[in-house]
Amino acid sequence: MKALEASGLKKSFGGVQAVDDLTFSVEEHETLGIIGPNGAGKTTLFNLITAIYKPDAGSVTLFGESLRGVPAHRLSHLGIARTFQNLRLFNSLTALQNLTAPILAMKGYGLNAAIFKGHRYVSIERSAEEKARTILDFFQLSAKANLAPNNLPYGDQRKLEIARALCTGPRLLLIDEPGAGMNPKEIRDLLKILRQVKEHFRLTIVLIEHQMGLVMNLSDRVLAMDFGEKIAEGTPAEIKKDKRVIEAYLGDESITC
């Protein structure tokens, strides 16, 4: 079954067509990479899928269910999670709390339990913390559980961002430029982590990324965008050789990557 289907998606901002008649799909458990020059509309696409923007036209379907009219905060309950291009971690909270918050948003307790601190409160808080610590462990961030995110090194913050997304127990994970601003060593670590995430969590992943090494190594298929349109779709090998992709990135056929 198709995890995600987008059909005829369109979105413009004051005259600029950010996404133009985009149609594609992602199979369950597949990893789809999305590449394209800056301004191609990739993040806008994520924002459309996660109901941050309303599409001017077109539709999005998740595991067969239409997402039309679904408010943004319900999406995590339907199984979508995402990371943000410009890290949006909760800096007033500790790293651990950045993880317990989404967990408690998925399954929590009511006002009564919160005020009177009975058994229900204790057990749900405890299990939330356990789950959060497990995920922190997976990303090797346990030692930093009580630090504020903005006190962590950049690479760790990016890992935390991904960790947080996994806390909602998603079936579809949208990752937006996880490798942005990283040096080659950090990229290698990230590649390792993402491979482990793929293996361990068995998710469907859609990954926006500029670092070709990451995209080509992780993706089963790749979608290339430019000016809001799909310009090519296929396996990493096919995309590497696609003329339109090369032109969009490099503007010149004669240089190969």
Q: Which residues contact another protein by CB under 8 A?
A: 13, 50, 52-53, 72-77, 81-82, 84, 88-93, 97, 100-102, 104-106, 108-109, 111, 113-119, 121-122, 125, 164-165, 167-168
**Minimum CB–partner distance for residue 13 and another protein (Å):** 8
Half-sphere exposure of 196 (CA within 13 A, CB side): 15
- Smallest distance, another protein to C-beta of residue 103, A: 9
β-pairing verdict for 221-226 and 80-82: unpaired
Q: Give CA–CA dist 167/120, Å, rounded.
A: 20
Nearer to another protein, 93 or 145 (CB): 93
Q: Which is nearer to another protein, 203 or 246 (CB)?
A: 203
CB of 99 to another protein, least distance (A): 10
Q: For another protein, which is the closer residue by CB, 106 or 212?
A: 106
Which is closer to another protein, CB of 23 or CB of 91? 91
Cβ-based nearer residue to another protein, 76 or 204: 76
Cβ contacts of 70-79, under 8 Å, gap ≥ 24: 75/50, 75/51, 76/102, 76/105, 76/106, 76/168, 76/170, 77/106, 79/169, 79/170, 79/171, 79/172
Give dist(CA 117, CA 10) in Å, integer.
48
Q: At what angle do helices 154-166 and 184-201 cross, to 10 degrees?
A: 10
- The answer to whether the CB of 89 falls within 8 A of the CB of 98 is yes
Measured from the CB of residue 92, what is the shortest distance to another protein in angstroms? 5
Supply the minimum distance, in Å, between the C-beta of residue 89 and another protein.
8
19: helix, strand or coil:
strand
